[in-house]
Structure 1
Amino acid sequence: MAPETLMFGIGATKAGTSWLYRYLDSHPDCAMPAMKELHYFDTADPRKQAWQVKQFTRKAADLKARRAFAPAAKQASLDGRIAVLEGAISLLSAPRDGHAAYLSYLSGVAGSARVVGDVTPAYGLLPEEELRVMAGLAPRTRFIYILRDPLDRLWSNIRMVAGRKAKADSEVAQTARRLLEKALTGEDRQVIMRSDYAGTLDRLERAVPRESRLVLFFEQLFSHETVARICRFLGIGDHPADLGRKVHAGRRLEMDEDQAHRALSALRGQYEAVASRFGELPPRWRENYARI
């Protein structure tokens, strides 16, 4: 049985979704899966499903290897993380007809909470038809989409990936600029796709009723007013938020000026699409848009 209210956090990557997840996880009226990104709806394709299961399986295997040499005091924590991954693997491997396994999984998470959520930024890339299916899964569905200044989001995403790929800290800057160059030349389209706010907004507006979607700016997220707005939208009580806490903040690294101008040119349509919908843009957006 579906929970009464099902909330989807659909992105964008590096735009505050981890902070949103942790805030809702702390809220007494909400229940969130122990794993932030379930990657259920973006793995309907068997190849994507197999790839994601492989990633979760590898992480579980790494944790099991660590547990073998961990002191007794840490084994329980590792056991819990392993169990979470194994639950996600079972979910992704289950039949997708009617999404019964997904709804059962969330019902187990929800307990007596008024809202249960799934925050997976990759859902922002889903086609309209899939978003429409998600919108009909529960008596009340709510979608939250957070927009961050396109240039800042792109560079934060690049820095995150570079930090993982670089073999040493001294190589992060060079790796980041190489990855950005691949994005700007079209060799790697994925990272630019995650900045396609216009496309996601178009699909979201066609698939989800106005009252069921909330679009927020990252630059305005960490305020009492925005937190209260989120609570009203979800139909939950006010709950204090740690507005000063940064989650997964990236390392500081300046973008090459030539690459920055080329990136802004590539992202111009995103600034224009958001401005046409929402009018006044946050100061950081205006600052970068003026550089185009």
Structure 2
Amino acid sequence: MSGRLPDFLGIGAQKAGTTWLFEMLRDHPGLAFPAGKEVHFWDWYQDRGLDWYRSQFADAAPGTRIGDVTPGYAVLPAEAVAQVHRAMPDGRLLFIARNPIERAWSAALMALRWALMYEHEASDAWFLDVFRSGQSLGRGDYAQCMETWLSAFPRERLLVLFYDDLVADPTGVLAAACRHLDVDPAPVLGIAGERLGRRVNAGEGTPLRPSLLGPLRDLYASRIAAFQRLTGRDLSHWLA
């Protein structure tokens, strides 16, 4: 079967700018995403086998570094992450962290569309059920996500980026991602400023209900503290 496995994975987080990063990186001549975004092999399609996974990248130009950006990979269990490492022992990982309170609200608004509801039709109780669900909490528990991936991959293989930096300095974030992937940032740093700062797959911009802020702070205070300890970055403003 032709094709080869990816050289790197974008593993999340959901609603944190992964689509923006994908759109910017695919302009780089040294990077290739022949399968597009969100291949979902490691979380949905493992039963299709590694030969199928390789075939998704068969069109990659020789000499390019292949990527698979699938935010769902962030919450893979440890045994699945170990399988990833066995298949891709030299793989590099990109993870974007966004304030988990903002991420939870953005994801809940997306869930509203799946439920065929408008925001004003959903009660606080409905939103709290979504926030407290295993999937929502898991996707916002960045420390746990990071620890799971680091149970198999060396720390230097995982680059943690921050949505706050993406907003403030998109060029810097893009350059850091390129350097981590071992490609020269120069070809993409010339992207027009207007496009570089454009939000991709932006949400509706509906502000968080004040009545939900307290419960979300309670849910995420300890998780933010744990992630702060892991990254060494002051994240106190996430609770402001």
Q: Same fold (TM over 0.5)?
A: yes
TM-score (ref. length: structure 1):
0.72
Confirm or deny that 1:254 pairs with 2:207: yes
| Secondary structure in structure 2 of the residue aligned to 1:110 | coil
Query: What is residue 10 of structure 2 aligned with on the other side?
Result: 9
- Indicate how the Cα distance of structure 1 residues 129 and 189 shifts in structure 2: closer, same or farther if over 3 A, else same: closer
Tell me how far 1:19 sits from its aligned partner. 0.7
RMSD of the TM alignment (CA)?
2.3
State the alpha-carbon separation in 2 of the partners of residues 126 and 257 from structure 1: 32
CA deviation profile, 1:162-195 (whole Å, cap 9, x unmatched)? 134335xxx23333845422134x4x32222211
AA at the equivalent of 1:100: D
Query: What is residue 265 of structure 1 aligned with on the other side?
Result: 218
Query: What is residue 198 of structure 1 aligned with on the other side?
Result: 143
Judge conservation of contact 2:21–2:174 (CA < 8 Å) in 1: no
Confirm or deny that 1:38 pairs with 2:39: yes
Query: What is residue 109 of structure 1 aligned with on the other side?
Result: 59
Query: What is residue 212 of structure 1 aligned with on the other side?
Result: 157
Q: Please point out which of 164, 168, 179 is paired with 1:232.
A: 179
Tell me how far 1:30 sits from its aligned partner. 0.8
Tell me how far 1:113 sits from its aligned partner. 4.4
State the alpha-carbon separation in 1 of the partners of residues 126 and 141 from structure 2: 18
TM-score (ref. length: structure 2):
0.86
Judge conservation of contact 1:129–1:207 (CA < 8 Å) in 2: no
Count of residue correspondences? 231
Query: What is residue 78 of structure 2 aligned with on the other side?
Result: 128
Tell me how far 1:256 sits from its aligned partner. 2.2
Judge conservation of contact 2:81–2:152 (CA < 8 Å) in 1: yes
Q: Please point out which of 277, 280, 290 is paired with 2:233.
A: 280
Judge conservation of contact 2:15–2:106 (CA < 8 Å) in 1: yes
Moved more, 188-197 or 116-125: 188-197
Judge conservation of contact 2:20–2:200 (CA < 8 Å) in 1: yes
Query: What is residue 111 of structure 2 aligned with on the other side?
Result: 161
CA deviation profile, 1:46-72 (whole Å, cap 9, x unmatched)? xxx5xxxxxxxxxxxxxxxxxxxxxxx
State the alpha-carbon separation in 2 of the partners of residues 280 and 140 from structure 1: 27
Structure with bigger helix share is 1
State the alpha-carbon separation in 2 of the partners of residues 10 and 266 from structure 1: 23
- Indicate how the Cα distance of structure 1 residues 104 and 34 shifts in structure 2: closer, same or farther if over 3 A, else same: closer
| Secondary structure in structure 1 of the residue aligned to 2:56 | helix
Structure 1: runs of 5+ lacking an equivalent: 44-48, 50-91
CA deviation profile, 1:66-106 (whole Å, cap 9, x unmatched)? xxxxxxxxxxxxxxxxxxxxxxxxxx763x2xx12212322
| Secondary structure in structure 2 of the residue aligned to 1:145 | strand
AA at the equivalent of 1:12: A
State the alpha-carbon separation in 2 of the partners of residues 15 and 226 from structure 1: 13
Tell me how far 1:199 sits from its aligned partner. 1.1
State the alpha-carbon separation in 1 of the partners of residues 164 and 180 from structure 2: 19
AA at the equivalent of 1:229: A
State the alpha-carbon separation in 1 of the partners of residues 151 and 84 from structure 2: 13
Tell me how far 1:8 sits from its aligned partner. 0.5
Judge conservation of contact 1:5–1:140 (CA < 8 Å) in 2: no
Tell me how far 1:230 sits from its aligned partner. 0.9
Instruction: Describe how 1:54-73 pairs up with structure 2 within 5 A.
Output: none
Judge conservation of contact 1:135–1:141 (CA < 8 Å) in 2: yes
Query: What is residue 23 of structure 1 aligned with on the other side?
Result: 24
State the alpha-carbon separation in 2 of the partners of residues 173 and 160 from structure 1: 14
Judge conservation of contact 2:3–2:56 (CA < 8 Å) in 1: no
Moved more, 267-276 or 174-183: 174-183
